[in-house]
Amino acid sequence: MGKLIIQRLLLGVLTLFAVSLLIFVCTQILPGDVASAVLGQGATPEALVIYRRELGLDVPAHLRYWNWLVAALQGDLGVAMTNKRDIVNEVIPRLSNTLFLAGYAALIAIPLAVGLGIFSAINEGKISDRLANVVTLVAISLPEFFIGYLLIILLAVNFPWFPSLSTVFPSMPFSERIYQSTLPAITLTLLVAAHMQRMTRSSVLSVMSTAYIEMAFLKGAKRNRVITRHALPNAAAPIITIVAMNMAYLVVGVVVIESVFVYPGLGQLMVDAVSKRDVPVIQACGLVFALVFVFLNTLADVLVILVNPRLRHRS
């Protein structure tokens, strides 16, 4: 088991390295000249040469990547091109806002989705199970920005219960932050809860077809007891994987939701950087998103290994 965990950790590090290389290459092959885009059409050739030298564009690409990677490993993400501020100081509060929103949505979505998935498995084929399948299918089919705008129209315009724009700042009281973040959190909950519910139901029902579950039924055990005491522990591994993947989506996939609600998170910072052609900020945001995504997926792999009875005990 220890060997498998070490392999998963090393694979996560290797994946993060590959993603960092991909991020750097994608930002370097963007069409147009970065210096001309930032300084504008009125920039003189001398100013363009000086600015390219400040950005390190006169250095070969492989050396620029190496210098950027070494600095990032030391906690230095560079300086923003637009406002000349330290990118770390820009990213940390935005990442904190994004993690707060993702955590808020996860606290609602995970218990709701897992509970509904188990409930649907217990009541397979009944009206409640069919209704849950229809609702989750509709939620999965709708685009995330469409759900966000529908909630704004319903809960912010027709029924003004929540603000249409989620404005948060560091000195805001916790209760006010919860209130401001509720509408985007509900949007994220509808997106990920539907997928987790369907996968939880499928995982439990796949275990229900095994021989030892049939033996439990033959002994006279009730369906809900068989599911909660026998099927659910053995279906935990795929459920953990699905929960971790959706948690990663909550952090990485909030770019659209933050843009819809103008939420000051890392996704909104990345969108602003793209519009301003601020390459160092784009690279930093992409690297942070990749780090969170790889970390959560690696954590899911480790947890799946730990909950596997065949790996916990010697045969």
pLDDT in tens, 215-239: 777 777 777 777 767 676 667 777 7
- How much is the CA Rg of the chain, to the nearest whole Å? 24
pLDDT tops 80 at residue 261? yes
Which pLDDT value is given to residue 48?
Answer: 62
Q: Determine the average pLDDT of the residues in 280-297.
A: 84
* pLDDT one-digit tens code per residue, 153-210: 888 888 888 888 887 877 888 888 888 888 888 888 888 888 788 888 887 777 777 7
Average pLDDT, the chain: 78
Which pLDDT value is given to residue 1?
Answer: 66
With residues binned 3-state (H G I as helix, E B as strand, rest as coil), the percentages for the chain, rounded to 5, are 80, 0, 20
pLDDT tops 60 at residue 309? no
* pLDDT one-digit tens code per residue, 132-155: 888 888 877 778 788 888 888 888
Cβ burial, residue 112 (10 Å; 0-12/13-18/19+): middle
How many C-beta neighbours within 10 Å does residue 190 have?
A: 23
pTM score of the predicted model: 0.76
Q: Determine the average pLDDT of the residues in 2-22.
A: 81
pLDDT tops 60 at residue 284? yes
| CA atoms of 280 and 267, how far apart (whole Å) | 15
| CA atoms of 87 and 71, how far apart (whole Å) | 12
| CA atoms of 231 and 29, how far apart (whole Å) | 50
pLDDT tops 60 at residue 315? no
Q: Determine the average pLDDT of the residues in 269-298.
A: 83
Which pLDDT value is given to residue 269?
Answer: 85
Nearest to 246 by CA among 109, 146, 145, 94: 109
* pLDDT one-digit tens code per residue, 61-97: 777 788 878 888 888 777 777 777 888 888 888 888 8
Which pLDDT value is given to residue 31?
Answer: 59
Which pLDDT value is given to residue 299?
Answer: 80
| CA atoms of 126 and 122, how far apart (whole Å) | 9
Give 300's pLDDT tier (boundaries 50, 70, 90): confident
Let me know: does 90 contact 77? Beta carbons within 8 Å.
Answer: no
Let me know: does 84 contact 51? Beta carbons within 8 Å.
Answer: no
Which pLDDT value is given to residue 35?
Answer: 60
CA distances from 23 to 65, 122, 281, 283, 288 (A): 10, 45, 12, 6, 11
Which pLDDT value is given to residue 134?
Answer: 84
Which tokens is 166 given? 């989620």
More confident residue, 315 or 52: 52
Q: Determine the average pLDDT of the residues in 112-129.
A: 80
More confident residue, 86 or 2: 86
